[in-house]
Amino acid sequence: MASVMELLDCPLCDFAVLPADDYLLQLHFEQVHTEDSPFVVKDDPEPLPPFASSSNCKHAQDATSSDNEEKTVACPESDCGELVLLDDFNDHLDLHAAETLSFDDTARKYHSHHSSTSMQKSAATHHSHKRSSKAVSSDYRYDTESLDGSKISSNNGRTKKRHRRERRGTSSSEKSTLSRSILTFNPFKHDKLVKPPNKSARLGKSELGPYAWEERMPKWLHDQLEAGAKITVVNRIGRDGRLIKQEQVQNETPGVLPILAQLSALDRTVKEAYYCHPSTLHVGKTPKEGSFCGYRNIQMLISYIQGAKAQGHEEFPGRLPGILTIQELIETAWDRGINHIGRTQTGGIKGTRKYIGTPEAQALFLSTEINCAVEMFSDQDTSKGRIQAHDSLLLAVERYFTQAAVSDGSSVHKTLLPPIYLQRPGHSITIVGFERRSDNYCNLVVLDPVYVTSPAMHKLIGRKNIKSARPEVLHAYRRGPSHLRKFAAFEILMLTATPPLFPVWDV
């Protein structure tokens, strides 16, 4: 007699799923029975097959009111190809200015092809610190009063007021890839009004980007991604004086982490800093490719796995897998039942420019038997007051690095930990370090796939005895609370296998 498989039932309605689809039950509860959930997909189009016909695509887009509310503008940089949210536009251009930064040997100063107010402010902050140890820019404010009960966000006993600004991720038009986050809520807590069910779990442009409904990316872009980044061979003189032929990949920059660690040590405003394994590459975009940030961040984590020979490195022999290969790996993970709701939500990603998020990164790593964990941060009201998402994020990242820090008398701790995949509304980046500038101020140190490595950084790579601080160079890699507090939700993915023990920092 055949055994009957027990179903998982929703406690508030007749909805039921197989035990293997518990994530689908969580999604159902959040979308149907939670009144103000950030995961609710409002004004969904009518259900479509996984790959909608081109004749239906425009109709579906027009029918999605939340999609029409998204306000974006094309980046004016010719090689960028990004559609940038208006809220992020100034920061986006500022970081484009940072990627053109170069050092003028004659004038002995840095300059950029674009004006950059933030870079000037970063440099001014560094120089003003020389004049007064109390002069620290408010760009690096870190308020943990609500988190640990101590009031560290005040100067001279007076608590500073926070800047009031619109926060990304707080309205239905600003949902982002966090809308299909790995849910960490308890779906069986029900103290909110019941809502009618949504028609479909299929997501739209607000979550998947401007090409949410495309069947296939343009042929020229597919061919470009299939061909991969350009590779050139250069001749270098080795330590033994012999000529060495070295390959350089167009959008990959090795050796960034050792330079960032030196620059943090030279910055007098940095009290303590932590960095991940130095084999992590900075992987950026190729010209005009648009937004594939999720894939590029996955590549950066894989570069650590390859360089450190960490868990799962046998799965990625040779060069980094390309975007098209990563799409196949994610689809294969879905075939195996890992986070397979992603196929329903996206309609499939193979050969498209749809945005991906933390669930897709997690699916890829789990399918290759690489241990990983996801943690989510959002604004919360507690008995001590309101805890903002960025404060919780900064505290968690600091905890992550301090667990592996070994004291050697230096203010910069060089760990062997993996980098961290960070998802925020509309974009993802890779966390490679953490700086505490004082008891009140700190930064994440990140590699952003949208931007290429500047000439100024290229000039420093390989040096082991940098003598003077370079706040202008560090600016492109720092993300402080003034930037992070714009967002109401974050998610991080961490590789959790024990890191290899090898003194790579000294090699």
pLDDT digit string, tens, across residues 351-369 = 999 999 999 999 999 999 9
Helices (H), 314-454: 323-335, 341-346, 358-367, 389-402
| Per-residue pLDDT, 19 | 67
For residue 427, being part of any structural domain is answered with yes
For residue 467, being part of any structural domain is answered with yes
If DSSP codes are grouped into helix, strand and coil, which group holds residue 458? Answer: helix
Is the pLDDT reported for residue 20 higher than 50? yes
The CATH code of the domain that includes 446 is 3.90.70.130
Per-residue pLDDT band at 410 (split at 50, 70, 90) = confident
| φ and ψ of 252, to 5 deg | -120, 130
| Per-residue pLDDT, 50 | 37
CA dihedral 205, 206, 208, 213 (to 10 degrees): -10
Higher pLDDT, 187 or 78: 78
For residue 71, being part of any structural domain is answered with no
Structural domain boundaries, residue 480: 252-495
Question: In DSSP terms, which residues pair with 252 in a beta bridge?
Answer: 283
What percentage of the chain carries pLDDT values higher than 90? 39
CA distance 424 to 490: 5
When mean pLDDT is compared across 143-147, 281-285, 304-308, 404-408, the lowest value belongs to 143-147
Amino acid identity at 353: R
| φ and ψ of 150, to 5 deg | -100, 145
Amino acid identity at 479: R
When mean pLDDT is compared across 120-124, 406-410, 456-460, the lowest value belongs to 120-124
Most confident of 183-187, 238-242, 383-387: 383-387
CA nearest neighbour of 445 among 457, 424, 431 = 431
| φ and ψ of 141, to 5 deg | -70, 135
If DSSP codes are grouped into helix, strand and coil, which group holds residue 449? Answer: coil
- CB count within 10 Å of CB 98 equals 25
Please give the tally of structural domains in the chain. Answer: 1
Q: Where are any strands of DSSP class E within 181-265?
A: 231-237, 243-249, 252-253
Q: What is the DSSP letter of 119?
A: H
Higher pLDDT, 500 or 190: 500
Tens digit of each residue's pLDDT (9 = 90 or more) over 216-273:
999 999 999 999 888 888 776 766 677 777 778 888 999 999 999 999 999 999 999 9
Is the pLDDT reported for residue 177 higher than 60? no
| Per-residue pLDDT, 163 | 41
- 8 Å CB contact between 374 and 362: yes
CA distance 74 to 89: 9
Q: Is the pTM of this model over 0.75?
A: no
DSSP 54-78: HHHHHHHHHH-HHHHH--EEE-SST
Tens digit of each residue's pLDDT (9 = 90 or more) over 103-140:
555 545 555 555 444 444 444 444 444 444 343 333 43
For residue 24, being part of any structural domain is answered with no
On the 0-12 / 13-18 / 19+ scale of CB atoms within 10 A, 54 is: exposed
| Per-residue pLDDT, 189 | 33
Helix 323-335 / helix 358-367 crossing angle, nearest 10 deg: 80
Mean pLDDT over each residue of the chain, to the nearest integer: 75
Query: Cβ contacts of residue 181 below 8 Å, gap of 6+?
Result: 39, 357, 358, 359, 376, 423, 489, 491
Higher pLDDT, 408 or 122: 408
Tens digit of each residue's pLDDT (9 = 90 or more) over 27-80:
666 666 665 554 444 444 333 333 333 333 343 343 333 443 457 677 766 666
Q: Among all chains, which residue has been given the structure tokens 């009063």?
A: 145
For residue 291, being part of any structural domain is answered with yes
CA distance 137 to 276: 26
- CB count within 10 Å of CB 272 equals 19
Tens digit of each residue's pLDDT (9 = 90 or more) over 290-349:
889 999 999 999 999 999 999 999 999 999 999 999 999 999 999 999 999 999 999 999
Query: Cβ contacts of residue 395 below 8 Å, gap of 6+?
Result: 144, 147
For residue 153, being part of any structural domain is answered with no
For residue 450, being part of any structural domain is answered with yes
Higher pLDDT, 162 or 397: 397
Tens digit of each residue's pLDDT (9 = 90 or more) over 274-290:
999 999 999 998 888 88
Task: In the chain, count H helices and then E strands.
Answer: 17, 22
| Per-residue pLDDT, 27 | 66
For residue 166, being part of any structural domain is answered with no
CA distance 29 to 40: 10
| Per-residue pLDDT, 191 | 36
Is the pLDDT reported for residue 8 higher than 70? yes
Is the pLDDT reported for residue 188 higher than 70? no
